Amino acid sequence: MPAPPTPTPAATHSKVDLLIIGAGPAGLMAANWAVSLGCRSVRVVDKRNTKIFTGQADGLQCRTLEVLHSFGMAQDIVRQSNHMLEVCFWNPVDGTLRRTGRIPDTIPGISRWQQVVLHQGRIERAFLDRIHAQSHGEVQVERAKLPERLDVDTDLVESTHPDVYPVRVQVRQLSEDEATPSQMGKSTPNGLFRSALAPDDTPELLSSSSSSVSGTKAGAVGSRQVIHAKYVIGCDGAHSWTRKQMGIDMAGEQTDYIWGVLDAVPVTDFPDIRMRCAIHSANDGSVMIIPREDGLVRFYIQISSTSDGAADAATKVDRHNITWQRILKAAQTIIKPYRLEISERDLHWWTAYQIGQRVASGFSLHDRVFIAGDACHTHSPKAGQGMNVSMMDTYNLVWKVAKVLQRQSPRSILPTYQAERRRVAQELIAFDHRFSRLFSGKPQAAEDAAREAGVDLAEFRNVFAKGNRFASGTAVEYGPSLLVGRGGDATELGDGTDVVGPGALSRPELSAEGCGESRIVVGQRLNTAQVVCVADARPWQLVDWLPSDGRWRLLLFCGNLVDAAQRPRIEAFARYLETQLLPRYTPARHDVDSVIDCLTISSTPRTACELSDYPAILHPLTTKWHRPGSASAAAGDVGEARAKSQDYWKIFCDDESYHAGHGRAYEKYGIDAQRGAVVVARPDGYVSLLVALDDVDRIDAFFDKCMLPAEMHLPFASRDKPSGAVDGAETKGVPPVPSKEAGEVAQAL
Amino acid sequence: MPAPPTPTPAATHSKVDLLIIGAGPAGLMAANWAVSLGCRSVRVVDKRNTKIFTGQADGLQCRTLEVLHSFGMAQDIVRQSNHMLEVCFWNPVDGTLRRTGRIPDTIPGISRWQQVVLHQGRIERAFLDRIHAQSHGEVQVERAKLPERLDVDTDLVESTHPDVYPVRVQVRQLSEDEATPSQMGKSTPNGLFRSALAPDDTPELLSSSSSSVSGTKAGAVGSRQVIHAKYVIGCDGAHSWTRKQMGIDMAGEQTDYIWGVLDAVPVTDFPDIRMRCAIHSANDGSVMIIPREDGLVRFYIQISSTSDGAADAATKVDRHNITWQRILKAAQTIIKPYRLEISERDLHWWTAYQIGQRVASGFSLHDRVFIAGDACHTHSPKAGQGMNVSMMDTYNLVWKVAKVLQRQSPRSILPTYQAERRRVAQELIAFDHRFSRLFSGKPQAAEDAAREAGVDLAEFRNVFAKGNRFASGTAVEYGPSLLVGRGGDATELGDGTDVVGPGALSRPELSAEGCGESRIVVGQRLNTAQVVCVADARPWQLVDWLPSDGRWRLLLFCGNLVDAAQRPRIEAFARYLETQLLPRYTPARHDVDSVIDCLTISSTPRTACELSDYPAILHPLTTKWHRPGSASAAAGDVGEARAKSQDYWKIFCDDESYHAGHGRAYEKYGIDAQRGAVVVARPDGYVSLLVALDDVDRIDAFFDKCMLPAEMHLPFASRDKPSGAVDGAETKGVPPVPSKEAGEVAQAL
C-alpha cells in the first residue's frame, strides 16, 4: 500500500565495524564468522522479508563440512542430511538404459567428511541459530532493508584509526509487499523468480523509493538509515547491487543449455534413485539425480539444447512457458524404460535455469567494500559448488577484516582475499565449463562418432572422477602472499593481484611426497589425523582442536621427546615460544594462547613419559576454566584475580587408542617421527608455513610481515546503538550523506 | 506467605493415561519414552520448583548412551561430555604415592559408546527439550505439585476398557517457599539437602497441607487436583512418597563409611587429574577422581571409617559438622605428596553421604502403580550407576505400559518389569557391596597383612576391571518370560515374580559361541555392527535403524540371497511375513511396518544383486515420505489418499564401505553367512528370540503370548483438558475422592 509521495525525511545514522549486505549462505557465513571472532559491531541487512525454506542449493562439500565443523555446526547438519556415497552412470546400451559404472562420490581419504545434501533453508537456519547464540541475540538479520546508496571516502580508506568509518551505506525499510518475492503465494514454491531466466527486481524497488515513504519513525516502512561502516561485504547474489555500485563487471558467457529442476518424492522403479546418478539418454538429453533428505530426490533435467533448436543462445527463454509438468515429462522420456511419477502434492519445489559462467572483474573496492558469493561468480548448479564456494569466500575474508579491525594485522593482508578467491572462482568456472558441456552434450555412443558436439562417455566419467576432487573443495591451494609463506610467483598463482609476502620460507620436503591425501601442502588446508590426548587418553581428530576462533595455530610436531638428540631441540623451540614469539604478539595479562595457540603432537608413546616431561609452555597455565575475580578487566584481559591451571588439551601423541585404533598421524602427514616439523596454520585452517624446529628465524620473518606487535592491538568495538531520531537531531558528529543519486555513486568513487 | 487457614476447597478432577511423579532422570526418561511412543495423555508432577543445575549424578554408561542414541539424544550429550578412557590406580609404594596400573575405563568392543560424564542438569535439560519438541509442548513438567493421597480401585485394575482409570492421585500446589530446597540460597550449591545424611522434608510439607491454602483457583497455591490415572510411576527418589503409599519396604543396610564429594576446577600437579583414578593412601583413606566437562573434576573423598572411630555405623553424622573445607583437607592429605588446591570461587558443588545399600521389596502395586529409580534402590554413587539404572528402569517399563494402553499387548506382560528390573537392582547392590567396601578399606600393602579389614590391591583392581562390564549396563540379561523366549527358570532368573512365557523358543547356537562382544544373547540387548544400505551405499550402525519408537523389530539375517539353496528359504519367510505375521498384528490401512518393522541384513555383496531381487515385502511400499491427502484418517491410519513408494532403508548388506571399512556383521554376530538367522528385538532393543528362517512356528508361538491381534488395537487417548472449575461443578461422571487421610491410603489398598 504505497502512501502518497512525501519529501524524503532525514535518515538516522549509526556506525558499525562490518556491514553485510545479503543474508544468504555467504552473508550468514560472514556474520557467523564475525561473531565467532568476538566482533559484535556487525550488521546484516537483506532486502527480502523471509528466508528460503525449500529448494535452492543443497550440496555440502567436504571442505564446507570441515569449516562448519570448526564452528561446531557440522554434526547436526550431517545428521539431518542425506549422505551421498556413490555416483552411478547410466547410458544407452543396446537400445536401453543401463548402469555402465560406479565411482565413490567422495574420494576416500580426502577428508573426514563426505559430501552430503540438505536444503539451503536448514543450513541458513543453523547459521541464524548460531549467530543468535554466539552474539547473545545482539546480531540479527535485519530484513526488508534495501540498500540504495553506497559511498566511500577515499581519503580515509587507509586509516586504521578506530573512529574512522570510510564507507556509508543508505538503506530503506521496504514494505511487506516490496520485500516479498512474487512466487511465494503459489501452491508449489518454485525458484523461477531467482533464476537467471527471471529479471532482477532491484531496479524496480529502487525506482519506487520516492513514492513509498509511509512513516517517519525509524524502522517504519520507507524510513532511511545511513550506516557508517568500516568494512562492507556485498553478499547480494548474482544481480548484486553492491557490485554495481563498485563499478565491477561480470566477465564470461551464457550457454544455450536450459535445465529444469524438480525436488520431489518420486514413485519409481529406477534402481539407483538413492544414488547420485548421471543419466544420458540416446537422443532425449540428460538427467542428474541427487537423492536428498526426507525421501526427496532432486532431478536436474535437460529441457533444451542447441541441437533441438528450442532456444537461442542469445535470448532468454520466456519463463511462463516452463512448467513443472514439462520438466517432468522430459525426465520421464530420458529415464525410460523405468517409470517415474510425481504427484503435485509430493513436488516440493521446482525451477529452471540457463547456465551462465561468469566471474567478477574484481572483488574489492579500496579493500573496504568487498563482494562475495554469487555476486562474484555464477555457473551451473549441478556440481553443487555455488553455496559452497560462496561460503568459503566469506570464510576467507572475514577473519582478515577482523584482524585488521583488532590491529593484530596490517591492512596489507586484505588484498589476499581477491588474490585467493578470484583465483578459485576462475578455476571453478573452468571446471564448470568443461563439466556442464560434457553433461549437456549427447552421448557419443548413440551418435555419429564423428560428430563434434558428441560426448565421449569414458571421458565424461574421467572428468567426473577428477572433478570430484576439485568439487570437494579440499584441493584449493592459495598462492604465495603475506599469509602463505611458500614459493612461486604471487601474481601467477593468484588472480594477478599483488600480494607479495616474505617469500619461500617453507620447507615442503618436511612433509614427504607420496605420503597420501593428508600430505601437508603450504597454501592448502590442513587435513586431519587422529591423535591421542596425553592427559586423558582420548582420541581426537587433530582438527577438532583447530576451531574457528580467530587464533593462529602453531602445530609443533615435536618428534620424539625421549630421544636424546631431539629433546634439546624441543626445549630450544619452547624457549623461543615462551620468550620471543608469544610475548611479541600477546598483550600483557591475556592468556598466553589467546593470539597464537600452540598444539604439540608428539611421536613419543603416551605412557612413555609424563605430561610434566614436556616443557611447561606447551601445556601452559591459563585461566580458561576458572571463574573471574572481581577485578574489572578489558575484553580479553584475564586480569590477575583469577586462578590458573594447566591446559591439559594441548599435548597429543601419535599412539594407539583404546577404542579407535592408531591414527598414524606422522605417517599420514609424512613427517619424520624423530625430528618432527612445525606447521603454522592461519585462523581459517590453511597452512602458512612448514618449517623445522630450528627455523625460528623463518617463523619470525613470516609473522613480522602479517602481524603487528601486541602493543598496537585493540579490542573489538562494542555494538553501536543506532541513533533513534529520524530528524537527524541526534546525529551530531556524523558527517551528512552527500546528496548524490544512488546511480552516480559508483562513478564518483 | 501462608494465608490464614480456610476449609479445604473441592479439588479439580482430570484424567490421564500415565501419571509420573518426580522429574529426575527416571521420571524424565519415562515421560520422554511415553511421548516418543505417541502417548500424549501423560503428566509429570514434581514437588520441587526448580531443576538441578549442578552436582548430583554425572556418569553415563555405555548402555545408557545406546538408549539415549535410540532417542537421537546421545550425540549432543556425548559432545558436551567429558570422555573417560582410562582408569589409573594410585597406591602407597615405598612411602610415597605411585601409579601402580592402568586399565581401559570401558572394555573395548563392549559397545559403540564409551563411558562419559556430564552433570545431571544438562541431561535433564536434554530430556525436557526433547519432551517439549516431541509432544509439541503438550507435555511439560508441572512443578511445585505435592502428591498427598493415592488410591487404587482394586475392582478395576484388570480392566483394559479405555474409560477405566483405577488410580487416583491427589496433588497440591505448593508455595514458592515450600517448593524451594533450602540450600539454594547459599553461595556454593551443595547437595546435603538431598543426601542420605539429611532428613526428608516430605512429611513436613504434608503436615503443612491444611494451613497453606491461599487461593481457590486451579493452580493457585494450596489448590488441589485429583488426577485419575490408568497408570502411575513413582520416580520420587530415595524417600519415595509413592513407595510409602504402596506399603513397600526397603531391604538392606547402611554402611559406616562417610564420603565427601567436591565438584571443582582444581589447581594441582597430580599427573592423572584428567583420568579416572582410584587413589588409596597408606593410612588416610581413599579418593576417587572423576574428571568432568568444562575443566571440572569430581572428587569422592573418604572422610571417616570405622577404624578411626569418627562415626558410629548406627548414627547419622551431624551434617552441620561437614564442610567443604574439611573434605578438601582430607583429599589434600590423601593425595600427598601432590599439591591440590581449590578456591571457593572454583568450587561448583559439594556434598557428603553415607553409603546405604537397599532394594525395595516390590516394584509394583497391582501392575497399576510402579516405582522406579532411587525409589527402588539406593547404593554408593562412585560406580556411576544410580542415574543410569534409574533411567533404564523406566525405559524397561514405559513401552510395556504403552503396549497395554494401545491394547497391542495383554496386561500379563507388565509383571516382567519387576522380574527384570528388581533382579538388576539386586545385582547392582551385590556389586556395590563388594566394590564400595573394597574402595573404602585400607590398602593391605600398607597394613598388617593379617588384618581382616585390609584390602588386597590386586583384588581391588581385579574387581574394578570385572565391575566395569557390569557397570557398563551392557551385561544386563533378562530371564525367560512372555517377552523373552529363552530357556531357564523364569523365577530363578528374575526376582522371583511369575512371568512364565512360551518357553525355550530360541536357538542360541545360531549365534556362535566365542564370536566376541557382539554375540547375540537372548535376553540381552543387541550390540551393534556396521552394515551398508543396499539402496544408497551408506554405512550405518545397525542399531541406528532400531530407534525407540515402540515398534518390534524383526531382523532378517537372510544369508546369501544369490545362493540357490537359500533363496527359496528367504522367499518362504517373506511370504510368511506378508501373508501371516504382519497382517495378524497390523491394523488395516496402517503402513505394513507400523507395528513390526522388518530389517534385512544380507551377506550378499551390495553390487552382486539389485534391490529388486529381494522380495518386495522386505522393501515395502509405505507412505512414509508422502504428504497426506485430504481424506481424514485416525491416528496411525495412513488413509488411501496418499502416494506410496518403496522404503529404501530396510535392506542392508554386510559388505565393504567406501569410507568406513567392512563391518563384518555376520562374523561379529556369529551368524552363518549362508543360512542366516532371524532375531526378534523388543521395542527396548532386548533380544526376544533367535531362530532359523524356517522357525516361523516359534515366531508365531512367541507373539501369540505377548501380543493381541490387530482388531483389538486402540489408538492412544488424546490429552485430557483438566476441568477448570474448583468447585467440582464440571467433574460429573468422575467419582469423588474418598476422604481418607493420605497416610491411611497404603493400608487401605
pLDDT digits (tens, 9 = 90+) for A639-678: 556 789 999 999 999 999 999 999 999 999 999 999 999 9
- The verdict on B187 touching A (C-beta cutoff 8 Å) is no
Give yes or no for residue B722 having a pLDDT over 60: no
Give yes or no for residue B735 having a pLDDT over 50: no
Is B85–A537 a contact, with Cβ atoms under 8 angstroms apart?
yes
Is A625–B271 a contact, with Cβ atoms under 8 angstroms apart?
no
* Annotation marks residue A58 as catalytic: yes
Q: Which among A345, A530, A652 is the top mutation candidate for probing chain B, defined by the most B β-carbons within 10 Å of its own β-carbon?
A: A345
Q: What is the pLDDT of residue A311?
A: 40
**Residue B108: Cβ within 10 Å count:** 12
Cα distance between residue A193 and residue A183, in whole Å: 7
Identify the structural domains of chain A with CATH numbers, from first to last. 11-81+118-179+197-249+361-409 (3.50.50.60), 83-112+254-355+442-476 (3.30.9.10), 508-624+641-712 (3.40.30.20)
Who among B114, B537, B643 is closest to A343 (CB)? B643
Q: Map grid coordinates 517373506 to a residue.
A: B574
Who among B612, B627, B659 is closest to A345 (CB)? B627
* Annotation marks residue A199 as catalytic: no
Is B648–A86 a contact, with Cβ atoms under 8 angstroms apart?
no
**Residue A253: Cβ within 10 Å count:** 12
Query: Which residues does residue A584 pair with via DSSP β-bridges, in sequence order?
Result: none
Radius of gyration, alpha carbons of chain A: 27
Give yes or no for residue B226 having a pLDDT over 70: yes
Where is pLDDT greater, at B748 or B425?
B425
- The verdict on A274 touching B (C-beta cutoff 8 Å) is yes
pLDDT tens digits along B256-290: 678 899 999 999 999 999 999 999 998 888 999 99
How big is the CA angle at A547 (ends A712 and A29), to the nearest 5 degrees?
A: 85
The catalytic residues of B are: 58, 292, 300, 381
pLDDT tens digits along B124-171: 999 999 999 999 999 999 999 999 999 999 999 999 999 999 999 999
A294, closest residue in chain B (CA to CA): B625
Which residue is catalytic, options A58, A151, A272, A591?
Answer: A58
Cα distance between residue B615 and residue B571, in whole Å: 7
- The verdict on B343 touching A (C-beta cutoff 8 Å) is yes
pLDDT tens digits along B24-46: 999 999 999 999 999 999 999 99
Q: Looking at chain A from residue 32 to 71, which residues have their Cβ under 8 Å from any Cβ of chain B?
A: none
pLDDT tens digits along A270-317: 999 999 999 999 888 899 999 999 999 999 998 864 334 444 433 455
Instruction: Tell me if B587 sits within 8 A of B615, measured CB to CB.
Output: no
For residue A276 the three cell numbers come to 547420485
Q: How far is B289 from chain A (nearest CA, A)?
A: 12
Who among B291, B296, B626 is closest to A536 (CB)? B291
Which region, left, alpha or beta, applies to residue B446 given φ > 0 means left and ψ of -120 to 50 means alpha?
Answer: alpha
- The verdict on A293 touching B (C-beta cutoff 8 Å) is no
Mean pLDDT of chain B: 86
Where is pLDDT greater, at A429 or A453?
A429
Strand B369-371 with B96-104, pairing: unpaired
Cα distance between residue A551 and residue B301, in whole Å: 39
Q: What is the pLDDT of residue A52?
A: 59
Which positions ≥6 away from A155 have C-beta within 8 Å? Answer: none
Amino acid making up residue A632: S
Give yes or no for residue A198 having a pLDDT over 80: no
Give yes or no for residue A581 having a pLDDT over 80: yes
Q: What is the pLDDT of residue B198?
A: 59
% of chain B exceeding 70 in pLDDT: 82
Cα distance between residue B691 and residue A359, in whole Å: 64
For residue A346 the three cell numbers come to 509430493
The per-residue DSSP string of A545-592 comes to: G--SSS-EEEEEEEE-TT-TTHHHHHHHHHHHIIIIIHHHHS-TTS-T
B chain contacts of residue A648, beta-carbon cutoff 8 Å = 273-274
A270, closest residue in chain B (CA to CA): B612
Instruction: Tell me if B601 sits within 8 A of B542, measured CB to CB.
Output: yes
Instruction: Tell me if B710 sits within 8 A of B588, measured CB to CB.
Output: yes
Is B644–A108 a contact, with Cβ atoms under 8 angstroms apart?
no
Cα distance between residue A81 and residue A158, in whole Å: 44
B626, closest residue in chain A (CA to CA): A346
- State the average pLDDT over residues A47-57: 69
Who among B75, B114, B626 is closest to A79 (CB)? B75
Q: What is the pLDDT of residue A718?
A: 83
- State the average pLDDT over residues A55-76: 91
Which residue is catalytic, options A43, A292, A606, A698?
Answer: A292
B544, closest residue in chain A (CA to CA): A79
Give yes or no for residue B102 having a pLDDT over 70: yes
For residue A179 the three cell numbers come to 520485500
pLDDT tens digits along B527-544: 999 999 999 999 999 999
For residue B61 the three cell numbers come to 554408561
Strand A297-304 with A250-264, pairing: antiparallel
Cα distance between residue A21 and residue A43, in whole Å: 8
- State the average pLDDT over residues A153-173: 96
**Residue A748: Cβ within 10 Å count:** 12
pLDDT tens digits along B350-374: 988 877 889 999 999 999 999 999 9
* Helical segments of B441-486, H only: 457-471
Q: What is the ipTM of this complex?
A: 0.88
